[in-house]
Amino acid sequence: MPFLIEHKEKLAGNIHLIRVKAPLIARSAKPGQFIVVRIDERGERIPLTIADKHPEEGTIEIIFQEAGASTKLLTNLNAGDPLLDVLGPLGTPAHIGNVGTVAVIGGGVGIAEIYPAIKA
């Protein structure tokens, strides 16, 4: 089953968002986890944070910064294009506890990593 890009958006400068059809990952991902993407058979494996998930739609969102050859290839893909491999969710989920009011500060592309924790 190919992992199709359903939506692509340039957020700012060299920061991009893509929404990928990945129903199993969308249902099981937890805050703090990531995926590994491979664009094609010659491509390297790129670890990317799961910035958001939509289990009802079977999609995940990834925010990434174009920084090298592989992320440039990812940037050049469009809605409807497939990704060869999307592996995940990987990594230990963040511990989310009920501690009362929480203030969160972040900047740049790192916001993608804390957004799922904020939602939780």
For the segment 94-111, what is each residue's pLDDT rounded down to a tens digit? 888 888 887 777 777 667
Nearby residues of 59 by Cβ (< 8 Å), 6 or more positions away: 6, 19, 20, 21, 22, 26, 53
Q: What residues does 3 pair with on adjacent strands?
A: 83
The two tokens of residue 101 are 């009011």
pTM: 0.88
CATH code, domain with 19: 2.40.30.10
**Does residue 65 carry a pLDDT above 80?**
yes
DSSP element (H, E) containing 27: helix 23-28
As a whole number of angstroms, the distance between CA 35 and CA 103 comes to 27
Domain span at residue 19? Answer: 3-119
Tokens describing residue 78: 């469009």
Tell me what the mean pLDDT of segment 68-78 comes to. Answer: 95
pLDDT at 90 over 80: yes
Q: What is the pLDDT of residue 46?
A: 96
Q: So what's the pLDDT on residue 41?
A: 93
Q: Which residue has the higher pLDDT, 118 or 83?
A: 83
Number of compact structural domains in the chain: 1
Over residues 14-35, mean pLDDT: 96
Q: How confident is the model at residue 88 (pLDDT cuts 50, 70, 90)?
A: very high
Q: What percent of the chain has pLDDT over 70?
A: 96
Going by pLDDT thresholds of 50, 70 and 90, the confidence category of residue 1 is low
Inform me whether the pLDDT recorded for 66 exceeds 70: yes
Burial of 100 (0-12, 13-18, 19+ CB in 10 A): exposed
